[in-house]
């Protein structure tokens, strides 16, 4: 655009045509009309910011004043908040556009994006398969080429897991790196906006805009870099094709000079698994009512829960009248979280590694359907869907770590497989720098 090879109008027209061609994927809960985007992009102000009138997809739990924010649930259907989320304001200030709001797993409490209210989002590599979740519609929109990037959210893996299943890059920053106001809450100690794009460079650009304090991110030369490999427990019980892709990726990193150091993360994982759902349910029960009041919605927490249509989500929240987690249990979970974070930091220091590398998910995408919402097939047996798909991503969510999923390769049937890099809180530029170099090595 800056060189004059293509105009913003031509680019938006091409993306609109791509969106029409991919309508069967059902990635949008609300799609901004093409003429509205064209009119907005025609404003001369959109030439100056770093996004230059580029449209981004926005998950349907991130507030936008010009489009409804429903979190994929019936009680919020058709309601628009009073203000944009802070992250959206930063995108607009950088001359970015909002292309629409994306289908997601209801209330962000699942990993399939099979939503009864909007219809299930499909995976661009096979529309009969799940795109992951809860930011599944955003990941699918980016992977399908409908938009070049988007904003998801990540609590236990909701940006990274669908990025892996759709074959794009998904980043979870350190907790607090981006402003969090204006997001339908799930867990204040875990939630964050998560940028998604088709390249690490584009994620770095979005990170600079969202953080408000751009830091220099350079590709980290791999020779001599020590990266931890948590064979125990994250390289066990993998889908055979995922295992093959990830091990080839490790070989490529080692060939490029990285020192891969075996580490045991099992104790940290055990601690974070115990704290997960209690933390989310306790904080959701208290923070969602505050969000509703702030936006002037004449709704209660119970109203929202009674409107839930997804059986797997209803099983978690019930009708909203019970308080399933008491203060003592919550405080115990918070203490366990602190212990786990201390163990994680100690592990990095003891092994002198700056980051860990692991499969983002233990299995690729599975078929859309209510059966998959509950259980999936892994190595010849049915296993619970939710804990299986977030088995590897949950640690970063629980501990507030920076983590990124990037494409590592494909299965024999063409399904994407991702690898995740994560590091200590605050080491976002380390993770992004390593991802830049890993991307080059894996796809050169």
57-110 tens-digit pLDDT: 999 999 999 899 999 999 999 888 989 999 999 999 999 999 999 999 999 999
Q: What Cα–Cα distance (Å) separates residue 315 from each residue in 310, 311, 387?
A: 9, 6, 15
Can you list the pairs that 349-352 forms with residues at least 24 positions away whose Cβ atoms lie under 8 Å? Answer: 351/226, 351/228, 351/261, 351/263, 352/226, 352/261
Q: What is the CATH number of the domain that holds 55?
A: 3.90.1300.10
Write the burial class of residue 116 (CB in 10 Å: 0-12 exposed, 13-18 middle, 19+ buried).
middle
Establish whether 101 is a catalytic residue: no
Residues 6+ apart with CB under 8 A from 346: none
The strand pairing partners of 384, in sequence order, are: 375
Handedness of CA 37, 40, 43, 47 (dihedral sign): negative
Total domains, the chain: 1
At residue 49, the pLDDT reads 87
* Domain membership flag for residue 3: no
Task: Tell me, yes or no, whether 2 lies in a domain.
Answer: no
Flag whether 118 is in a domain: yes
Q: Helix/strand/coil (H, E, C) string of 77-124?
A: CCCCCCCCCHHHHHHHHCCCEEEEEECCCHHHCCCCCCCCCCCCCCEC
Stated pTM of the model? 0.97
Return the number of other C-beta atoms located less than 10 Å from residue 364's C-beta: 25
> How does pLDDT run across 193-213, given as a tens digit for each residue?
999 999 999 999 999 999 997
pLDDT of res. 47: 62
Give the per-residue pLDDT at 221: 83
- Is 134 marked active-site? yes
Tell me if 269 sits within 8 A of 236, measured CB to CB.
no
Tokens 């920053």, residue located: 173
Residue 90 lies in a domain: yes
CB distance 335 to 279 below 8 Å: no
Can you read off the two tokens belonging to residue 330?
Answer: 């919550």
**Rounded distance between C-alpha atoms, residue 180 and residue 190, angstroms:** 11
Low-confidence ranges of the chain (pLDDT < 50): none
Domain assignment of residue 276, yes or no = yes
CA angle 224, 229, 235 (to 5 degrees): 150
| Residue 297 domain-assigned (yes or no) | yes
Could you tell me if residue 1 is inside a domain?
A: no
Strands of 169-172's sheet, edge to edge? 28-31, 97-102, 55-59, 149-154, 192-197, 169-172, 403-410, 416-422, 355-359, 226-230, 259-264
Query: Does the annotation mark 135 as catalytic?
Result: no
- Name, in order, each residue with C-beta under 8 angstroms of 149's C-beta and a sequence gap of 6 or more: 54, 56, 57, 142, 195, 196, 197, 198, 202, 203, 206
Q: So what's the pLDDT on residue 46?
A: 62
- The pLDDT value recorded for residue 78 is 84
Nearest to 80 by CA among 94, 68, 90, 92: 68
Tell whether 332 is covered by a domain.
yes
Enumerate residues 6+ apart whose C-beta is below 8 A from 4.
none
> What pLDDT is recorded for position 44?
59
Per the listing, tokens 């209510």 go with: 370
pLDDT of residue 408: 98
The whole domain housing 395 covers 8-443
3-state secondary structure of 20: helix
Catalytic residue, from 59, 199, 310, 405: name it. Answer: 59
Q: Catalytic residue among 113, 134, 174, 333, which?
A: 134
How does pLDDT run across 381-416, given as a tens digit for each residue?
A: 999 999 999 999 999 999 999 999 999 999 999 999
113, 158, 164, 187: which one is catalytic? 158
């Amino acid at each position: 655009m800056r060189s004059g090879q293509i105009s913003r109008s031509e680019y938006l027209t091409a993306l609109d045509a791509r969106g029409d061609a991919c309508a069967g994927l059902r990635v949008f809960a609300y799609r901004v009309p093409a003429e509205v985007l064209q009119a907005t992009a025609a404003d001369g102000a959109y030439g100056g910011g770093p996004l230059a009138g580029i449209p981004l997809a926005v998950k349907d739990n991130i507030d936008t004043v010009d489009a409804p924010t429903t979190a994929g649930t019936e009680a919020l259907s058709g309601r628009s908040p009073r203000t944009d989320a802070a992250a959206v304001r930063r995108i607009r200030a950088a001359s970015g556009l909002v292309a629409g709001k994306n289908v997601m797993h209801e209330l962000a409490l699942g990993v399939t994006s099979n939503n009864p209210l909007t219809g299930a989002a499909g995976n661009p590599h096979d529309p009969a398969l799940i795109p992951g979740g809860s930011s599944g519609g955003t990941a699918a929109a980016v992977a399908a080429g409908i938009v070049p990037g988007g904003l998801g959210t990540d609590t236990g893996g909701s940006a990274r897991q669908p990025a892996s299943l759709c074959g794009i890059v998904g980043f979870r920053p350190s907790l607090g790196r981006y402003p969090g106001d204006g997001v339908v809450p799930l867990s204040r100690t875990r939630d964050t906006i998560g940028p998604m794009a088709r390249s690490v460079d584009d994620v770095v650009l979005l990170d600079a805009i969202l953080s408000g304090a751009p830091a220099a991110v350079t590709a980290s030369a791999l020779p001599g870099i020590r990266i931890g490999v948590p064979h125990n427990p994250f390289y066990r019980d993998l889908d055979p094709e995922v295992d093959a892709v990830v091990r080839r990726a490790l070989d490529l990193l080692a060939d490029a000079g990285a020192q891969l150091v075996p580490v045991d993360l099992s104790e940290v994982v055990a601690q974070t698994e115990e704290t997960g759902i209690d933390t989310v349910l306790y904080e959701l029960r208290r923070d969602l009512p505050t969000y509703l009041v702030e936006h002037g919605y004449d709704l209660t927490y119970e109203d929202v829960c009674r409107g839930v249509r997804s059986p797997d989500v209803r099983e978690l929240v019930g009708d909203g009248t019970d308080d399933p987690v008491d203060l003592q249990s919550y405080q115990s979970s918070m203490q366990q979280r602190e212990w786990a974070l201390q163990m994680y930091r100690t592990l990095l220091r003891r092994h002198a590694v700056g980051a860990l590398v692991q499969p983002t998910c233990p299995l690729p995408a599975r078929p859309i359907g209510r059966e998959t919402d509950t259980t999936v097939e892994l190595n010849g047996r049915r296993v619970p869907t939710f804990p299986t798909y977030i088995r590897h991503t949950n640690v970063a969510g629980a501990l507030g770590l920076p983590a990124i999923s990037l494409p590592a390769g494909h299965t024999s049937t063409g399904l994407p497989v991702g690898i995740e890099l994560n590091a200590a809180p605050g080491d976002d530029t380390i993770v992004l720098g390593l991802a830049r170099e890993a991307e080059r090595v894996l796809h050169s």
